[in-house]
């Protein structure tokens, strides 16, 4: 079967098509015929590599996978051939106290497909049956593939770690990213007031269409003052930040006394300057968040099924054009997710029969 892989670490030129054997399906596994696979900034980091990352090369990327059940293992119940599914992008061991308590993303053995272990950028992908969730009906497979990693990350940031409540105000940075387009919609669904920060007019306009009540131009020095004006000088209750660098410091400055900042990434830099006096005088909370549990993803997908959250697809590319997809992300021009058409990404998902 065909797959796309990194043959080493470096630029997009290390991405090559390869041939893989058909997947082995154990008694507790399911083989998925992959229809669509989406990209994340995580794919760029894994391709470039970092100290301590050890991968068996060639390495198949791909955390966001949507497709159709093709084969089921002898011990699998609840799935049958033809079911439309998405693959949970990460999972813990399932047996430790953290996993049993619903905090599997804190499990020491937590792994993300396409990062520590080979991913689903291939025609067929075998995974444990417990790693599958029903794909929301009415979507295309491209739209379904745009959901998993960004949606579960945004849900954990906004709902679980950020504890956003109705009538609160949330500032969402990098309005065009996959995580942020999901966070805007989650905030709106909770009855919160959403202020989006975007660096281009297109990103800000799209944030408003998704349900943000206001959008500020984060490329302009005065955007922090705009946030303060929009909140009557009070500041926001929650800031959602996965940019890092100077933007993290600005997000912190936008908080009201007693406000919360939740961070899941550092695309603009992992080192920040922090004025501790502002943190303790204003009694601010800085909260970290990474990925989320399969239960988090299931709860978020229920809002997708109900039509309250819509996936945002920036572009749909042929499977062989993974290099072009990486370049699109590196340009930071994408609004939503870049998706690869593996085999029938435009097909619609029917409602699953009981």
Q: Where in the chain is the domain with CATH 3.40.50.720?
A: 151-288
Q: Cα(286)–Cα(183) distance, rounded to whole angstroms?
A: 18
Cα dihedral sign, 228-229-231-233: positive
Residue 317 pLDDT: 98
- Name the residue with tokens 């794909």: 135
Q: Cα(227)–Cα(239) distance, rounded to whole angstroms?
A: 11
Residue 354 pLDDT: 59
Q: What is the CATH number assigned to the segment(s) 2-147+311-341?
A: 3.90.180.10
pTM here is: 0.95
Is the domain defined by 151-288 classed in CATH 3.40.50.720? Answer: yes
Residue 56 pLDDT: 93
At residue 286, the 3 state secondary structure works out as: strand
Q: pLDDT of the chain along its 354 residues, tens only? A: 999 999 999 999 999 999 999 999 999 999 999 999 999 999 999 999 998 888 999 999 999 999 999 999 999 999 999 999 999 999 999 999 999 998 999 999 999 999 989 999 999 999 999 999 999 999 999 999 999 999 999 999 999 999 999 999 999 999 999 999 999 999 999 999 999 999 999 999 999 999 999 999 999 989 999 999 999 999 999 999 998 888 888 999 999 999 999 999 887 777 888 888 889 999 999 999 999 999 999 999 999 999 999 999 999 999 999 999 999 999 988 999 999 999 999 999 987 765
Inter-axis angle of helices 148-155 and 294-305, nearest 10: 100
Burial 328-339 (b: 16+ CB within 10 A, else e): bbeeeebbbbbb
Name the H helices within 141-200: 141-145, 148-155, 178-189
- With a CB cutoff of 8 Å and minimum separation 6, the contacts of 190 are 158, 159, 164, 165, 166
Q: Where in the chain is the domain with CATH 3.90.180.10?
A: 2-147+311-341
What is the full DSSP assignment across 44-112? HHHHH--TT---PSSB---SEEEEEEEEE-TT--S--TT-EEEE-SEE--SSSHHHHTT-GGG-TT-EE
- With a CB cutoff of 8 Å and minimum separation 6, the contacts of 45 are none
C-alpha 54, offset from chain centre: 23
Q: Cα(297)–Cα(150) distance, rounded to whole angstroms?
A: 10
């Amino acid at each position: 079967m065909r797959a796309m892989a990194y043959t080493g670490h470096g630029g997009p030129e290390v991405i090559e098509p390869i041939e893989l054997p058909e997947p082995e399906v154990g008694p507790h596994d399911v083989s998925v015929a992959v229809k669509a696979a989406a990209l994340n900034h995580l794919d760029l980091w894994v391709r470039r590599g970092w100290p301590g990352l050890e991968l068996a090369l060639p390495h198949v990327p791909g955390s966001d996978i949507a497709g159709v059940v093709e084969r089921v293992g002898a011990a699998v119940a609840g799935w049958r051939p033809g079911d439309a599914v998405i693959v949970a992008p990460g999972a813990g061991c399932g047996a430790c106290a953290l996993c049993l308590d619903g905090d599997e993303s804190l499990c020491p053995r937590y792994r993300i497909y396409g990062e520590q272990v080979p991913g689903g950028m291939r025609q067929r992908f075998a995974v444990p049956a417990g790693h599958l969730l029903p794909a929301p009906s009415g979507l295309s497979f491209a739209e379904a593939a745009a959901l998993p990693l960004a949606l579960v990350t945004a849900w954990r940031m906004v709902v679980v770690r950020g504890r956003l409540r109705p009538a609160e105000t949330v500032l969402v940075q990098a309005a065009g990213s996959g995580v942020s387009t999901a966070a805007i919609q989650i905030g709106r669904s909770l009855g919160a007031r959403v202020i989006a920060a975007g660096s281009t007019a297109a990103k800000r306009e799209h944030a408003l269409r998704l349900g943000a009540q206001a959008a500020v131009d984060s490329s302009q020095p005065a955007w922090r003052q705009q946030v303060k004006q929009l909140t009557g000088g009070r500041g926001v209750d929650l800031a959602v930040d996965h940019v890092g660098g100077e933007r993290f410091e600005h997000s912190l400055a936008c908080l009201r006394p007693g406000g919360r900042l939740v961070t899941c990434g550092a695309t603009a830099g992992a080192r920040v300057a922090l004025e501790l006096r502002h943190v303790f005088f204003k009694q601010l909370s800085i909260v970290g968040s990474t990925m989320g549990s399969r239960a988090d993803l299931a709860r978020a997908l229920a809002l997708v099924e109900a039509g309250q959250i819509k996936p945002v697809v920036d572009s749909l590319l042929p499977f062989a054009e993974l290099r072009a997809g990486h370049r699109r992300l590196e340009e930071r021009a994408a609004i939503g997710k870049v998706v690869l058409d593996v085999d029938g990404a435009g097909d619609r998902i029917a409602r699953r029969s009981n």
